[in-house]
A = this chain, B = another copy of it.
Amino acid sequence: MSTSTPTPVRERRRQQTRAEILEAAWRLAERDGIAGLSLRELAGEVGMRAPSLYTYFDSKAAIYDAMFAQGYRELDAVDTDLELDPGDAVGTLERSLEAFVDFCCASVARFQLMFTAAVPGWEPSPEAYAASVASYERSVEGLARLGIEDPRHFDLLTGLYSGLASQQLANDPGGDRWRRLSREAAEMYVTHVTQGRRGA
C-alpha cells in the first residue's frame, strides 16, 4: 500500500525540492554562465551532495530541460500580461518590444539557454522543444490580431525583437540604449508593413 502511488503530500514536497534546485541552478548559471553550471556546486546550494540530485532529476540534461521549459512559461506569462490593442499596433508593439528586452536582460543565463546554443552537447528534449514551438505559435496568433500575417513581415519583426535584445545584452547590459528604441522601431515597422508597396 505505502509503496504504490505516492501520497499527495509526499509528491508536493518533492516538487518543492525540485523548485528549490531549479532556483539555485538559475542563481549559479547567472554567475558562471549557463554552460558553467556544476552539479556539485548546485547540490551544495541546496544543502545536498551531488548524487542526491539524481533523486530529483535523471541527469544534468534533465535539469537544463526543466529550466528551458520554465523559461518559456515565464515568457508566456509576459505575453499574457501584455494588453493587445488592435487599434494601436505601434503602441502594442512598443510595449511588447520593451517587455521582450526586459525579459532577456532580466536573466542572461535564461537568454543563453532559450535562444542560443550556449550549452555544448545539449539540446532541448522533444517535449521541451514542443513547448517552445507552442509559445512561438501563440505569438504568431497575437500578431495576427494586430493585422500582421505576412510570414516575411513576421520574420522581419522577430529580427527586430532579437536585434534589440541581443544588442542591449551584449553592448549595454544594465542600460537601456537599445530598449529605448522600442517606440521608434515599432513606428518604423508599422509604417513599413501598412504601406501597400511591395519589396523588390
Contacts and interface: CB of A to CB of B under 8 A. Distances in A.
A188 B118 contact: no
A170 interface: yes
Copies of the protein in its oligomer: 2
A105 interface: no
A28 to B, nearest CB: 11
A56 interface: no
Interface string A160-200: 11111011001000000110010111011101100000011
Contacts of A183: 199-200
A33 B117 CA distance: 8
Interface of A: 32-33, 35-36, 108, 112, 115-118, 120-121, 152, 155-156, 158-164, 166-167, 170, 177-178, 181, 183-185, 187-189, 191-192, 199-200
